[in-house]
Amino acid sequence: YDRQDQRLPKQRLLVVANRLPVSAVRQGKDSWQLEISVGGLVSALLGLKEFDARWIGWAGVNVPDETGQEALTKALAEKKCIPVFLDEDTVHQYYNGYCNNIIWPLFHYLGLPQEDRLSTTRSFQSQFDAYKKANQMFANVVHENYEEGDVVWCHDYHLMFLPKCLKEKNSNIKVGWFLHTPFPSSEIHRMLPSRRDLLESVLAADLVGFHTYDYARHFVSACTRILGLEGTPEGVENQGKLTRVAAFPIGIDSDRFIRALELPQVQDHIKELKERFAGRKVMLGVDRLDMIKGIPQKILAFEEFLEENPEWRDKVVLLQIAVPTRTDVPEYQKLSSQVHEIVGRINGRFGTLTAVPIHHLDRSLDFHALCALYAVTDVALITSLRDGMNLVSYEFVACQASKKGVLILSEFAGAAQSLGAGALLVNPWNIAEVAASISQALNMPADEREKMHQHNFMHVTTHTSQEWAATFVSELNDTIIEAQLRTRQVPLLPV
């Protein structure tokens, strides 16, 4: 299949992710408003233009009645989206419970929930049952929409049970699974009571992908240590079946950002921001409000920097844009109040009647406003405690062609492996080190900034989300052809 050859039909792709790229808001009995969701997965999958792609996922809303379901299905069809309807209890146990309270923190090295241990063990099982049930519901919708030859691409930790559900019903379906979070060291993964089931199910896929080589290696070690299987340079071998395991570092649609900077409304916005912050260096953080993003640690490091460098106090501003997510989970509510409290304290301590050192916004910005902010930034501060990749670092670099600002990046973000040589890498837990990096970044000579920027810009513009998706799908097709050749024992070359 040659993607360049326009005469060939585009490859049909069923992209399955927990959430659709749009969220649905009910307007009436049978009318719906669709809003684009914010998040790394949505941004990344904008790179699927080369494919005839359909999305399958949950629309983020409970729709118990048939009239509502029919109307929503129709509205979503226009966006090539197909809904999976999950009831409230399943969402609570599967999504809030097993996905967000168990797998997400564990895969980011934040451990398992510890309070009320005995009841957690019991509820753990019911949450896992709900997880399997939800995955089966996704599988049912895939089967209903599947056409022969389709590639099914399953995304993320919510759907680790899906490859098995798909293959059980139809072993010929081409199934790929990609993880957007880190895959932790096998020593961490083995804490999961359901560790075997999840690994075995993922192995039912033909191709398993991760952002970095390290995550892929951790996955293979988990399979060898926990399942006793054999790891090979290609992947994992299970009873004669090879599951390919490889690294596919994600990227962004860099052209979209570069082009946006030329738009008059973005230029106006840039002008406004420059006037607003004239005479001050701009530091920027853009994150979903999540404990993995290390927002409190970042703000404390900024405080330490201001404490130690009084000459900078009225010459620098930190803009922290933190879009709230998972707002019904108590830990996230706690995090939000913690961040507000620290910001209030620092602004009280170092602010003046006319200026404050930190502007903290807890909301989502539209694409053009975000591009303008990236473009006026002098230093981007990304201090994730763990992060699968981190696309904000890529977006910042794409918008910095004229400013050539500095990227301070956590060594625990997957992006540190691709942008590390063009960034100041930090351990986000080491507040003093982050504070020192802020000082180094603000004082960095122009030629050094230029060199670091060029390195990153080259990477971001050549490793795009389009390239990422095309490589994954083409590798999946190749894997299947190789497997067919192997099992039918067809000689590769005529003898």
71 or 426, CB closer to ligand ADQ? 426
In the complex, what is the shortest distance from the CB of residue 297 to ligand ADQ, in angstroms, rounded to a whole number? 16
Q: Is 388 in the site for ligand ADQ (CB under 6 A)?
A: yes
Number of residues in contact with ligand ADQ under rule CB under 6 A = 24
Q: What is the side-by-side order of every strand in the sheet holding 406-410?
A: 358-361, 316-324, 281-289, 379-382, 406-410, 424-426
The answer to whether 297 touches 434, Cβ cutoff 8 Å, is yes
Within positions 126 to 145, which residues make up the interface with ligand ADQ, using CB under 6 A? none
In the complex, what is the shortest distance from the CB of residue 71 to ligand ADQ, in angstroms, rounded to a whole number? 28
Give the up-direction half-sphere exposure of residue 459: CA atoms within 13 A in the CB hemisphere. 24
How many angstroms separate the CA atoms of 449 and 455, rounded?
Answer: 10
How many angstroms separate the CA atoms of 422 and 405, rounded?
Answer: 11
167 or 211, CB closer to ligand ADQ? 211
Task: Name which position in 53, 173, 198, 389 contacts ligand ADQ (CB under 6 A).
Answer: 389
Part in contact with ligand ADQ (CB under 6 A); list of ranges 36-44, 82-90, 128-136, 440-448: 36-44
Part in contact with ligand ADQ (CB under 6 A); list of ranges 70-78, 88-96, 268-276, 280-288: 280-288
Task: Name which position in 75, 220, 391, 441 contacts ligand ADQ (CB under 6 A).
Answer: 391
Alpha carbon separation from 145 to 86, 138, 152, 322, 435 (Å, rounded): 18, 11, 11, 37, 52
134 or 321, CB closer to ligand ADQ? 321
How many residues are recorded in the chain? 495
Q: Is 288 in the site for ligand ADQ (CB under 6 A)?
A: yes
Task: Name which position in 364, 410, 466, 479 contacts ligand ADQ (CB under 6 A).
Answer: 364
18 or 390, CB closer to ligand ADQ? 390
Part in contact with ligand ADQ (CB under 6 A); list of ranges 14-22, 140-148, 187-195, 387-395: 387-395
Q: Is 40 in the site for ligand ADQ (CB under 6 A)?
A: yes
Rg for the chain, CA atoms, rounded:
23
Q: Is 11 in the site for ligand ADQ (CB under 6 A)?
A: no
The answer to whether 410 touches 455, Cβ cutoff 8 Å, is no
Q: Is 227 in the site for ligand ADQ (CB under 6 A)?
A: no
Q: Is 176 in the site for ligand ADQ (CB under 6 A)?
A: no
Residues 453-472, one symbol each (x = binds ligand ADQ by CB under 6 A, - = not), give --------------------
Phi, psi (5° rounding) for residue 53? -100, 140
Q: What is the DSSP string of 123-158?
A: HHHHHHHHHHHHHHHHHHHHHHH--TT-EEEEESGG
Q: Is 180 in the site for ligand ADQ (CB under 6 A)?
A: yes
Part in contact with ligand ADQ (CB under 6 A); list of ranges 111-119, 232-240, 386-394, 399-407: 386-394
In the complex, what is the shortest distance from the CB of residue 45 to ligand ADQ, in angstroms, rounded to a whole number? 9
Q: What is the DSSP string of 56-92?
A: EEE-SS---SHHHHHHHHHHHHTTTEEE----HHHII
The closest residue (CB) to ligand ADQ is 40
Task: Name which position in 16, 166, 222, 370 contacts ligand ADQ (CB under 6 A).
Answer: 370
Partners of residue 236 on adjacent β-strands: 231, 243
How many angstroms separate the CA atoms of 328 and 79, rounded?
Answer: 28
Task: Name which position in 68, 387, 399, 476 contacts ligand ADQ (CB under 6 A).
Answer: 387
342 or 370, CB closer to ligand ADQ? 370
Residues with Cβ < 8 Å from 469, sequence gap 6 or more? Answer: 45, 47, 48, 50, 51
In the complex, what is the shortest distance from the CB of residue 492 to ligand ADQ, in angstroms, rounded to a whole number? 35
The answer to whether 379 touches 397, Cβ cutoff 8 Å, is no
Tokens 């409304």 sit at which residue?
265
Q: Which two tokens stand for residue 424?
A: 């100041």
Within positions 305 to 344, which residues make up the interface with ligand ADQ, using CB under 6 A? 321, 323
Task: Name which position in 44, 379, 416, 460 contacts ligand ADQ (CB under 6 A).
Answer: 44
Q: Which two tokens stand for residue 251?
A: 């990227």
Q: Is 189 in the site for ligand ADQ (CB under 6 A)?
A: no
Task: Name which position in 57, 395, 405, 426 contacts ligand ADQ (CB under 6 A).
Answer: 395
In the complex, what is the shortest distance from the CB of residue 390 to ligand ADQ, in angstroms, rounded to a whole number? 5
Q: What is the DSSP string of 251-293?
A: ---HHHHHHHTTSHHHHHHHHHHHHHTTTSEEEEEEEEE-GGG
Part in contact with ligand ADQ (CB under 6 A); list of ranges 8-16, 39-47, 82-90, 300-308: 39-47
Q: Is 41 in the site for ligand ADQ (CB under 6 A)?
A: yes
How many angstroms separate the CA atoms of 489 and 383, rounded?
Answer: 50
Q: Is 407 in the site for ligand ADQ (CB under 6 A)?
A: no
Alpha carbon separation from 89 to 62, 82, 157, 400, 470 (Å, rounded): 10, 21, 19, 45, 37
Q: Is 218 in the site for ligand ADQ (CB under 6 A)?
A: no
> Within 10 A of 208 (CB to CB), how many other CB atoms are there?
26
In the complex, what is the shortest distance from the CB of residue 349 to ligand ADQ, in angstroms, rounded to a whole number? 25
Which residues are at the interface with ligand ADQ (CB under 6 A)? Answer: 38-41, 43-44, 180-181, 250, 286-288, 321, 323, 364-365, 370, 387-392, 395
